[in-house]
């Protein structure tokens, strides 16, 4: 079993995303999987500029850019499972990952139409590249579900259009609260994080052994470190209580981050 993680954090090896990839890899390696991680931030991947050269007879399925895209795509073709790992940047996936996806274009016969397994109408895609089972790993600082909504929905639709299977969705919110994997004193204040990291290890084991992450492990990994009392979110809706509730909300977040 070969697992390839594509890390799209601009902080590369120093980031929280890579820290969590390593937890998954530890479990996967213990089950005998071969694991590799690549940092898109260290590579040179140009934007697809829609020149259509790759769709002409002369340069069919060849890109005018000479960069690292082919190298990444070849690694993806050789992998059994891909981990698409992204921090949330302004409520969406990293542009590094989106730029890579846009480069699928030169591997697809855009003029040829297909019906996908889920009954959608789409152009031809290179299934050896685009249809690998994948895990989505998302990291962010905010705790609200709206923060990761767009990215999670994107990957659900991606799986449908590209005839792929989602092998797990891991969403690690509140990264600042526990110090993004490099502040042990912050982790000590929230011992639940150790169990969450253990769930990441377990996710790796499951990926290697079964090819997917079970719902119970996913739920264990995706728990919040702490929750804001429900009544506060409710009070924020009413103009009369809004100011007081907002102050209290700010205090809770501040205490959590500086605990």
For residues 172 and 16, the answer to whether their CB atoms sit within 8 Å is yes
Count, residues near ligand FMN per rule CB under 6 A = 17
Q: What angle do CA 138, 144, 147 make, to 5 degrees?
A: 50
The residue range among 55-63, 85-93, 157-165, 184-192 that interacts with ligand FMN, by the rule CB under 6 A, is: 85-93
Q: Is 37 in the site for ligand FMN (CB under 6 A)?
A: no
Exactly one of 3, 5, 6, 17 binds ligand FMN (CB under 6 A); which one?
17
Phi, psi of 59 (to 5 degrees): -120, 35
Exactly one of 68, 89, 122, 253 binds ligand FMN (CB under 6 A); which one?
89
The pair of three-digit structure tokens given for residue 88, joined into one six-digit string? 């949330």
Q: Is 175 in the site for ligand FMN (CB under 6 A)?
A: yes
Exactly one of 5, 6, 9, 79 binds ligand FMN (CB under 6 A); which one?
9
Cα separation, 256 vs 87, whole angstroms: 21
Cα separation, 80 vs 132, whole angstroms: 7
Residue, CB closest to ligand FMN: 15
- Considering beta carbons, is residue 11 or 77 the nearer one to ligand FMN? 11
Q: Is 95 in the site for ligand FMN (CB under 6 A)?
A: no
Which residue do the tokens 């299934």 mark? Answer: 127
Exactly one of 2, 11, 26, 223 binds ligand FMN (CB under 6 A); which one?
11
The residue range among 81-89, 96-104, 192-200, 248-256 that interacts with ligand FMN, by the rule CB under 6 A, is: 81-89
Q: At what angle do helices 16-30 and 192-210 cross, to 10 degrees?
A: 50
Q: Is 22 in the site for ligand FMN (CB under 6 A)?
A: no
Which residue do the tokens 């993806």 mark? Answer: 76
Which stretches does DSSP call E strand in the chain? 2-7, 34-39, 81-87, 113-115, 121-123, 134-139, 166-172
* Kind and range of the H or E run holding 102: helix 95-102
Closest CB 99 distance from ligand FMN, rounded Å: 15
Cα separation, 122 vs 115, whole angstroms: 6
Considering only residues 106 to 165 of the shown chain, the ones binding ligand FMN according to CB under 6 A are 139-142, 147
- Considering beta carbons, is residue 18 or 205 the nearer one to ligand FMN? 18
Question: Half-sphere exposure of 18 toward its Cβ, with a 13 Å CA cutoff?
Answer: 16
Closest CB 35 distance from ligand FMN, rounded Å: 18
The pair of three-digit structure tokens given for residue 7, joined into one six-digit string? 């890390």
The residue range among 87-95, 102-110, 159-167, 191-199 that interacts with ligand FMN, by the rule CB under 6 A, is: 87-95
Q: Is 88 in the site for ligand FMN (CB under 6 A)?
A: yes
Residues that bind ligand FMN (CB under 6 A): 9, 11, 15-17, 87-91, 139-142, 147, 175, 180
């Amino acid at each position: 079993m070969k697992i390839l993680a594509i890390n799209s954090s601009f902080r590369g090896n120093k980031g929280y995303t890579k820290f969590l990839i390593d937890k998954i890899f530890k479990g996967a390696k213990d089950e005998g999987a071969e694991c590799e991680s690549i940092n898109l931030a260290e590579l040179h991947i140009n934007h697809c500029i829609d020149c259509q050269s790759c769709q002409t007879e002369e340069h069919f399925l060849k890109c005018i850019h000479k960069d690292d895209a082919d190298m990444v795509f070849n690694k993806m073709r050789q992998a059994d499972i891909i981990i698409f790992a992204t921090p949330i940047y302004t409520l969406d996936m990293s542009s590094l990952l989106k730029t890579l996806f846009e480069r699928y274009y030169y591997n697809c016969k855009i003029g040829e139409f297909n019906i996908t397994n889920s009954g959608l109408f789409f152009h031809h895609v290179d299934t050896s590249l685009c249809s690998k089972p994948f895990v989505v790993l998302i990291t962010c600082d905010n705790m609200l579900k709206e923060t990761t909504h767009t990215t999670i929905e994107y990957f659900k639709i991606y799986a449908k259009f590209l005839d792929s299977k989602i092998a797990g969705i891991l969403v690690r919110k509140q990264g600042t609260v526990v110090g993004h994997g490099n502040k042990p004193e912050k982790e000590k204040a929230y011992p639940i994080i150790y169990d969450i990291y253990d769930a990441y290890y377990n996710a790796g084991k499951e990926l290697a052994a079964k090819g997917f992450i079970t719902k119970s492990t996913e739920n264990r990994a995706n728990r919040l470190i702490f929750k804001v009392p429900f009544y506060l979110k409710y009070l924020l809706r009413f103009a009369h209580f809004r100011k007081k509730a907002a102050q209290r909300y700010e205090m809770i977040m501040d205490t959590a981050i500086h605990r």
